[in-house]
Chain A
Amino acid sequence: SQTIHQWPATLVQPVGSPLSLECTVEGTSNPNLYWYRQAAGRGLQLLFYSVGIGQISSEVPQNLSASRPQDRQFILSSKKLLLSDSGFYLCAWSVLGGARDTQYFGPGTRLTVL
Chain B
Amino acid sequence: GESVGLHLPTLSVQEGDNSIINCAYSNSASDYFIWYKQESGKGPQFIIDIRSNMDKRQGQRVTVLLNKTVKHLSLQIAATQPGDSAVYFCAETPTSGTYKYIFGTGTRLKVLA
Q: Are A43 and B89 in contact (CB under 8 A)?
A: yes
Interface size class of B (residues with CB under 8 A): 20 to 34
Is A81 interfacial (CB 8 A cutoff)? no
Q: Are A42 and B105 in contact (CB under 8 A)?
A: yes
Q: Are B42 and A32 in contact (CB under 8 A)?
A: no
Q: Are A106 and B99 in contact (CB under 8 A)?
A: no
In the assembled complex, the Cα of A113 lies from the Cα of B96 at a distance in Å of 37
Report A34 CB to chain B, min CB distance, Å: 8
Residue of B51, B89, B100, B104 with most chain A CB atoms under a 10 A cut-off: B100
Contact of B99 among A94, A100, A108 (CB under 8 A): A94
Residues of chain A contacted by B49 (CB below 8 angstroms): 100, 102
Is A90 interfacial (CB 8 A cutoff)? yes
Report A104 CB to chain B, min CB distance, Å: 6
* A residues in contact (CB < 8 Å) with B: 6, 32, 34, 41-44, 46, 49, 51, 59, 90, 94, 99-108, 110
Other than the known A59-B100, A108-B43, what 14 A-B pairs have Cβ atoms closer than 8 Å?
A42-B105, A43-B104, A43-B105, A43-B106, A44-B44, A44-B89, A44-B103, A46-B101, A94-B99, A100-B49, A101-B99, A102-B49, A105-B43, A108-B42
